[in-house]
């Protein structure tokens, strides 16, 4: 009876969420740029995002860190806005402007009152399409980014994650850090930056995403007047090699004198984001690691085995990983690892339809809550188009989660969670006198 009730409630949520998600105004501009508008009358805010299909995995070795470096440089002056003025314009209008670079994408975004969406669009157009990349500013920015890199190295968790990715990926460029290396950053020239900028920051490699209280046709007119004027050029074909199948277990241990607790990451190869198996993994993850009712919270955190934990996938379009990380007392490593494997197996063996339905409902509710904010919905649309390369991932996420059944959750475990094939990194405090 409980399963039937949850299913009916869940179906109602899916229908409502799917209907809302499909109201997209999509246009292909003549120069190859994509415009995606989601008009919303339930808000007085607007989010404007400009997404580029370029991140650190698109860099050659001597360009490592360039995508991230360019993100910094684009705030250092454009044809219309001198250094620092773009931020001042947006902030004076009560908005926020920022950017982010990952391994798969780079995006620039403004969140502002809908009254000022034209001003925000103009600022984003200028910084992304009309950057000056002056020699003086490039040289000024290098030590700033290098200092950021060094500060990252001073953080033990940065070292932990970078070690994990180097251990997991042997061929894929995912093994390199987004920020790059000190020697590559020092050797960046204006010519190199301009070439990278002109290759990837252009209409055929971008999407303008607008979510909020706007008229889509007015947005289209303004985008045509700005981004639509830029020349679309062939995008360089970057061959990103797939990681060969892993054989056996990969394990690395790090000793660090700066820490007192143990830091641990374990990961398994997982379905790429948007693939059919991905949704079964999302439900499994919700059951074991999301919130205070999850298996791990009740069995690891509440019982004092770990101080903290995280579960989830890396959201990658290729060579994705499902990971579990935790912090605990160093002497409890073997106990924690053994218990994690036991809980994974027990969850699989004792899985019920009620657990699956409840997890699906939580995922949907969380998604709806996230997308109540215009910036959350704009991010999901941009990520779906740019990284997943399929807007249906955004449009039908709730529907696809709703179709997941117990057998598909179990199938994820059977196919991917192997006790003889995983990647593991353990960081423990370095004892005095040890080498």
* pLDDT tens by residue, 76-108: 999 999 999 999 999 999 999 999 999 999 999
Using DSSP's 3-state secondary structure scheme, residue 52 falls into: strand
Give mean pLDDT, residues 156-164: 96
Kindly report the average pLDDT of the chain as a whole number. Answer: 94
165-223 confidence digits (pLDDT tens): 999 999 999 999 999 999 999 999 999 999 999 999 999 999 999 999 999 999 999 99
pLDDT at 431: 79
Assess whether the region 23-229 and the region 250-429 belong to the same CATH fold: yes
pLDDT at 18: 45
Give mean pLDDT, residues 412-422: 97
Query: From the CB of residue 259, how many other CB atoms can be counted at a distance below 10 Å?
Result: 19
d(CA 342, CA 340): 5
Provide the residue ranges of all domains of the chain, joining segments of one domain with +: 23-229, 250-429
* Beta strand extents in 177-216 (DSSP E only): 206-212
Taking alpha carbons only, the member of 139, 169, 208 closest to residue 57 is 169
Using DSSP's 3-state secondary structure scheme, residue 242 falls into: coil
CATH topology of domain 23-229: Cytochrome Bc1 Complex; Chain A, domain 1 (3.30.830)
How much helix, strand and coil, in percent to the nearest 5, is found in the chain? Answer: 50, 20, 30
pLDDT at 14: 46
Q: What is the pTM of this model?
A: 0.92
Q: State which CATH number among 3.90.660.10, 3.40.47.10, 3.30.830.10, 3.30.360.10 fits the domain covering 250-429.
A: 3.30.830.10
d(CA 143, CA 151): 12
360-406 confidence digits (pLDDT tens): 999 999 999 999 999 999 999 999 999 999 999 999 999 999 999 99
């Amino acid at each position: 009876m409980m399963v039937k009730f949850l299913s009916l409630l869940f179906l109602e949520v899916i229908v409502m969420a799917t209907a809302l998600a499909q109201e997209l105004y999509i246009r292909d501009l003549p120069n190859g740029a994509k415009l995606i508008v989601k008009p919303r009358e339930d808000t007085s805010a607007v989010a404007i995002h400009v997404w580029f299909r370029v991140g650190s995995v698109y860099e050659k070795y001597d360009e490592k860190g360039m995508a991230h470096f360019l993100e910094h440089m684009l705030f250092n002056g454009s044809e219309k806005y001198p250094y620092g003025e773009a931020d001042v314009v947006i902030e004076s209008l009560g908005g926020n402007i920022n950017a982010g670079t990952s391994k798969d994408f780079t995006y620039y975004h403004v969140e502002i009152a809908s009254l000022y969406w034209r001003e925000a669009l103009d600022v984003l157009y200028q910084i992304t399409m009309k950057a000056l990349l002056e020699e003086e500013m490039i040289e000024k920015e290098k030590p700033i980014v290098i200092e950021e890199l060094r500060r990252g190295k001073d953080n033990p968790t940065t070292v932990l994650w970078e070690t994990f990715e180097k251990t997991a990926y042997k061929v894929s460029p995912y093994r390199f850090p987004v920020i790059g290396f000190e020697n590559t950053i020092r050797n960046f020239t204006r010519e190199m930056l301009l070439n990278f900028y002109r290759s990837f920051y252009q209409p055929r490699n971008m999407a303008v995403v607008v979510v909020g209280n706007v008229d889509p046709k007015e947005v289209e007119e303004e985008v045509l007047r700005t981004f639509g004027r830029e020349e679309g050029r062939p995008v360089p074909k970057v061959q990103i090699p797939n990681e060969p199948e892993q054989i056996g277990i990969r394990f690395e241990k790090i000793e660090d004198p700066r820490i007192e607790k143990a830091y641990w990451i374990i990961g398994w190869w997982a379905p790429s984001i948007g693939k059919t198996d991905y949704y079964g993994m999302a439900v499994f993850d919700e059951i074991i690691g999301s919130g205070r009712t999850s298996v791990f919270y009740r069995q690891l955190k509440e019982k004092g085995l770990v101080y903290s934990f995280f579960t989830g996938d890396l959201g990658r379009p290729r060579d994705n990983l499902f990971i579990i990380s935790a912090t605990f007392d160093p002497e409890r490593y073997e106990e924690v690892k053994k218990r994690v494997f036991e809980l994974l197996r027990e969850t699989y063996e004792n899985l019920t339809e009620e657990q699956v339905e409840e997890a699906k409902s939580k995922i949907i509710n969380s998604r709806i809550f996230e997308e109540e904010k215009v910036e959350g919905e704009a991010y999901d649309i941009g990520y779906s188009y740019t990284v997943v390369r399929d807007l249906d991932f955004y449009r039908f996420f709730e529907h696809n989660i709703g179709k997941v059944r117990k057998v598909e959750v179990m199938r994820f475990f059977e196919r991917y969670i192997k006790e003889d094939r995983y990647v593991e990194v353990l960081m423990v405090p370095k004892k005095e006198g040890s080498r």
